[in-house]
Amino acid sequence: MALCWPLKRLRQWARTVKRDVLILYLAARDPRVPWYAKVVAACVAAYALSPIDLIPDFIPVLGYLDDVIIVPLGIVLAMRLIPPSLLEEHRHTAIERSQQRPTSYVGAAIILIMWLVAGVALLFWFIK
């Protein structure tokens, strides 16, 4: 029974993160949001919704660090940059649309390009 309470809390936290990412996705597309907040919100949402991670999950410990540290810190930063009235409006919209989860193929492409550039750089480093 002792494991049940932390598991419920972890599930609730995961739902909150998913909702917050959807809020950022909606805010990044809103013309009323300042440009700098849009950039941060779009980057965080694209990374979180990307089917490809910067650090793959199969790498022990490091694979989950991006999901546990990078995404929540990005969410906090982006939400502080968005005006509170717009944030509340997008929060209501996100709750209504919580069943649909958008996928960011642009975010996936960016992560894939980063991996390719790193691979090519590593290849050149090994050749020299």
Q: What is the pLDDT of residues 23-70, one digit of tens each?
A: 898 899 999 999 999 999 988 888 887 777 777 777 777 777 777 788
Indicate the number of domains in the chain: 1
Spatial contact of 44 and 78, defined as CB atoms under 8 Å apart: yes
Q: Is it the case that residue 107 has pLDDT exceeding 80?
A: no
Give this prediction's pTM. 0.65
For residue 51, being part of any structural domain is answered with yes
Owning domain of residue 23: 12-127
Angstrom distance (rounded) from CA 98 to CA 112? 27
For residue 4, being part of any structural domain is answered with no
For residue 112, being part of any structural domain is answered with yes
The residues, any chain, with a CB within 8 Å of residue 46's CB and separated by 6 or more, are 104, 106, 107, 110
For residue 86, being part of any structural domain is answered with yes
Band of residue 104 on the pLDDT scale cut at 50, 70, 90: low
For residue 7, being part of any structural domain is answered with no
For residue 3, being part of any structural domain is answered with no
How much is the pLDDT for 55?
Answer: 73
